[in-house]
Chain A
Amino acid sequence: MKQLTPAFDTVSIAITGSGGAGAITSGSLLLEAAGKAGWYGLMTRTVGPQIRGGEAAALVRLSRRPVSGHGDAFDLLIALDWRNVERFVAEIPLTAHSLVLADENAGEVPGQIGASGALCLTAPFASLAKDINGARPNIIALGTAAALVGLPESAMIETVAATLATKGVSLENTSQAVRAGFDIGIQLASAHGAAVALRLAETSRSAVEAKVARWMITGNQAAGLGALRGGIRFAALYPITPATDLLEWMAPRFPGIGGVLCQAEDEIAAVQMAIGASYGGVPSLTTTSGPGLALKLESIGLAVAAEVPLVVFNVMRGGPSTGIPTKSEQTDLNVALYGLHGEAPHVVVAPLSVDDCVLTTQWAVHLAETLQTVSFVLSDQFLGQAKAVLPTPKEVDFGTIRLKPVDPQAGIYKRYALTASSVSPMAIPGTPGGQYTADGLEHNERGTPSSQANDHHAQLDKRNNKLANFDYGAIWAEIEGEDDAEIGVITWGSTTAPVREALARARANGVKTRLVAMRLLSPARPEHLARALNGIKKLLVVEQSHSGQFLGYLRAHYDLPVPPTSLRHPGPLAIRPAEVCDALSRWS
C-alpha cells in the first residue's frame, strides 16, 4: 500500500484586492517565480461574480515539496486594498502567527482580520509604484512577498519582467519596482525579526538542483490535455463559469491536432453537437457546470440509449440554480449519478488533484469510447481554476479503441447486437453496409424502434452489463496508508488533498489510518470498496456539501463495515486538514 507523505513545511500567502487591482495576477506571478526558483506550489482563486469592482483573492501555498491543497491558515495576507474584504474573509483563515501587510492608504484593518490576533503592518506599495514608470502597487507587493518568504529576487524579477514586457514596461523599471518591494521586506525583517520570518526550512535540494521535471498547469488545462491524449477531436460548449477556460485553452491548440471546436447557441445544442460528431466516429466532449449540466441531461440520456460515446466534463460550482458561479462545491454528485430519467447506466469519474485531471479525463475518454457510453467527469472550481507547479505527471496509454464491425456487408448489420461483453460493434457513417439508424426510442438489436417487453429488457441488460462486467482496474481509487489501520477515511475529488494532509499529520503522531479516495463513482464497485476497507473499524466520510450527497451515495450502494461518521460542510469554505484531524482525534 502506498504510504502517506509525512507533514512538511509550507508557506501560505493570500493576496487580496478589489477586481482589477491585480491580486490574481500577483498570485500567479508569485507561483511562477517560486517554480522558477525550484519550489512547488499551488494557487487557487476566490473571486466575486462581477468582472470589475468586485473582490478577488489569490490563495498561494509554496513548498519545497509538491502541494495539492491548502493548509489550515495563511501565514501572510497582503491587502492591496480592503474593499469588499468581508465577502471572502471567511475563506482566508488567519491566526495569531499570521502577518497582515496592507497598503498604507488602505485604511483601517477590518475587524474580522484584526480579531485573528495577526500582526498587522502597513507598507507604501501604492506610493512607491507612483514613482516608477509602469509599476503598479501589486508588483511592489510581490517584491515584498518574495523577500519575506525567501524567494530569490532574481526569480521574481525574471518572472514579472516577462509579463510586464508584453505591456511595454522596461526590464529596468520592472527590476526597480520588484527591488523596491524587496527592500520593504528586508526592512520588515530587520524591524520585526521572527514575527515576519516565513522562510521555509531548507530540508532538501530544490527541484531545479534535483533536475525534477515539473509543470506549471491549471486543473482545467490538465483536463484539456487529458482529453487530447485520450483522443478527443471534437468539443462543443456554451460558455459557463468555471468551465469555459478549459476549452479556451484548447481552442487555439485544437486545430493543429485535427480537432474541431464549436461554440453552440445553448447548452443543449453543445451536447447534441458532441453526440453528432461522436456518432460520426470522432471522440467528442462537451464541457459545462451545474446549470448547464441540468440542461444537458435529456441529451445525455439519448447518448446512453443510442450508445454513442460521449464525455461530459462538469466543473462544479456552488448550487442550486445560478448559485455561486465562481466558487467551489462538491454538489453535482447527485445529478451526475441520478439525473438521467429512466434507467441509464453511465460512468462517473472524478479527478483527485490538479495533476490527476490529466489522467482521470484521459480515462474518462477511454471508458466512453470502449464502453460506448457517457462518461461524466466531475471536477470543481477549486481544481479547475487552481494553478500548480507540480512534478510532470506520467503519461499513460490506455490503448483506447472503439469497437467497429469487421464486415458489416455480410448479412444484416445489427448495431445493438447482444454480445458476450454487451458492447456491440459500432459502424461509422461512410462504412458501406453498416447503415443503421441510431435511436433514443427503445429498440431491438437492429436499432428498429420497439416497445416490446423482451427487447426493452434485453437492451436494459446490455447497457447495464457492459458497464457492470468491465474490469476498471486499480485506477478506480487511490488507497493509501497502513494495512493494519483501523481508521478509514473515504473521500472524493478536491477534498482528497486536505484529507491526505490530515492523515499524514495523524501518522506523524503515530495514528494509523487508511485513505480511500474514489476516482470511479459510477458504476459502484461495492466489492472493491469492501476490500479497500478490510479491517477498518472506524470510518470517516469527508465531502464539501451541505446535505451529505457522498455519504448518501456510499450508504445506498456499498456495504460499509461500520456506520460512517460524516465530516462535511458546503462551499465556498474549503475543507481544512485541521477539521479532518479534529474528527479523527475524537477516536484516539
Chain B
Amino acid sequence: MDGCTPEPKREAKHYKSDLTPIWCPGCGHFGVHAALNRALAELQLDPAQVVISSGIGCSSRIPAYTNCYGFHGLHGRALPLAIGLKLARPDLTVIAAGGDGDGFSIGGNHFIHACRRNVNLTYIVMDNEVYGMTKGQPSPTTAPDWDSDLQPGGTGISSFRPLGVALQSGANYVARGFSGDLNGLTKLIVQGIRHPGFSFVHVLSPCVTFRPEQREWKSQTHPSGLAATPDFHEASRRLADDDGLTTGALYIGDRKPYAPAVAPLADTKTNLAHIVEEFSI
C-alpha cells in the first residue's frame, strides 16, 4: 500500500462466512448475526484481528458464520478462553458469545468472575429462555411455571436476572437488546466493543421452535427511553423496576480494565540468564 489510497471500506457482508447457519427458520440468532456483522463493519475492524469465542448450543455456532477467527469450545467455557486469549494478545478484539444455559448455568461462575475481572472484551448472550439444541429443557432464565417434558408443571425456581448479576459483579458496560431490533442491537454491540473493560450485551433472541410465544417479544420489548447511566445506584434502581423486556444500554462504568503489564520481549534472554543466577550456590 502507498499509504494514500484508503483500503476499500468493509461492509457487513464482508464479515459473513460462506457457511449456512444450522438455525431454524425464524430463529432470533439470525438477527444477532446480522447485527454483529454490521457492528464489525461500523467499527471497520479487520476480521483477522477479531476473535469470537463461544460455548455449546445453537447460538454458540456463531463464530464460524463470520469471517473472523473463532473458537467453538466447550459448554459454558467461552469466557475463560476469551479472557486467556485477551490477556495473552491484548492487540486483538475479543468477543465471547453464547446462550443462556451456556452462560448462566454451566458457565455461571465464569460469568460472575468475568464481570469482576473486567478484562476488555464483549460478551453477547443470546437468551431464549430454553435449551434449544437439546430440544426444550428449561434454562436459568426460564420462568418457574414453564411446562416441559423434563420439568412438568415448571421448575418452580425463580429465574436468573442476568443484568442484575452483571451489574453487581462489576461489569463495566451492561445493556439489553432484542434480536428483532437490528439498528438498536448493532448500536449496543458497537458501544460494547468500544467501551473498555467487560461489556455485557444481553440479547432477547426468540426460539421459534420451543418457545413460539417469544414471537410476541417483537411487540413486548420496548426501549428504556433513558440514556445509559454511569451511576451504579441509579442503574440498580432502574433494574428494580425492570420488566425484563426493556432494551438499551443501562450502565456505562469507568472501572479500569484488568490488563497485566508485560515487559518488552527483547529483555527475555537477559532476564532468563538473570533468573538462573539466583540458584547458584
Contact = CB atoms under 8 A, between A and B. Distances in A.
Nearest to A269: B80
B12 interface: no
Interface in A293-329: 298-299, 302, 306
Nearest to B50: A429
A258 interface: yes
Given A258-B267, A260-B262, A282-B89, A269 B113 contact: yes
A263 to B, nearest CB: 10
A441 interface: yes
B69 A265 contact: no
Interface string A216-234: 1100010001001100011
Interface stretch (A76-84, A431-439, A464-472): A431-439
A151 to B, nearest CB: 14
Contact of A225 (B19, B85, B275): B275
B183 interface: no
Given A257-B268, A431-B48, A439-B72, A264 B88 contact: no
A214 B92 contact: no
Contacts of A447: 64
Interface string A267-283: 01110111111111110
Contacts of A257: 263, 265, 267-268, 271-272, 275
A438 B265 CA distance: 27
B46 A432 contact: yes
A229 B69 contact: no
A440 B72 contact: yes
A193 interface: no
Contacts of A369: none
A276 B68 contact: no
Contacts of A225: 275-276, 279
A264 B265 CA distance: 24
Contacts of A32: 281
Contacts of A437: 63-64, 69-72
B49 interface: yes
Contacts of B80: 264-265, 268-270, 272-273, 276
Interface size class of A (residues with CB under 8 A): 35 or more
Contacts of A302: 73-74, 77
B47 A435 contact: yes
B264 A258 contact: yes
A258 B261 CA distance: 9
Contact of B88 (A265, A276, A306, A449): A276
A302 B54 CA distance: 13
B275 A262 contact: no
B180 to A, nearest CB: 26
A490 B53 CA distance: 45
A272 B110 CA distance: 11
B119 to A, nearest CB: 9
A45 interface: no
B87 interface: yes
A234 B87 CA distance: 9
Contacts of A272: 73-74, 77, 80-81, 84
A438 B78 CA distance: 12
B67 interface: yes
Nearest to A34: B281
13 contacts: A228-B275, A257-B268, A262-B87, A262-B260, A264-B113, A266-B109, A273-B81, A273-B84, A277-B88, A279-B71, A299-B77, A436-B70, A439-B72
Interface of B: 19, 46-49, 51, 53, 63-64, 67-74, 77, 79-89, 91-92, 109-110, 112-113, 260-265, 267-268, 271-272, 274-276, 279-281
Top-4 shortest CB links A-B: A273-B84, A276-B84, A437-B70, A277-B88
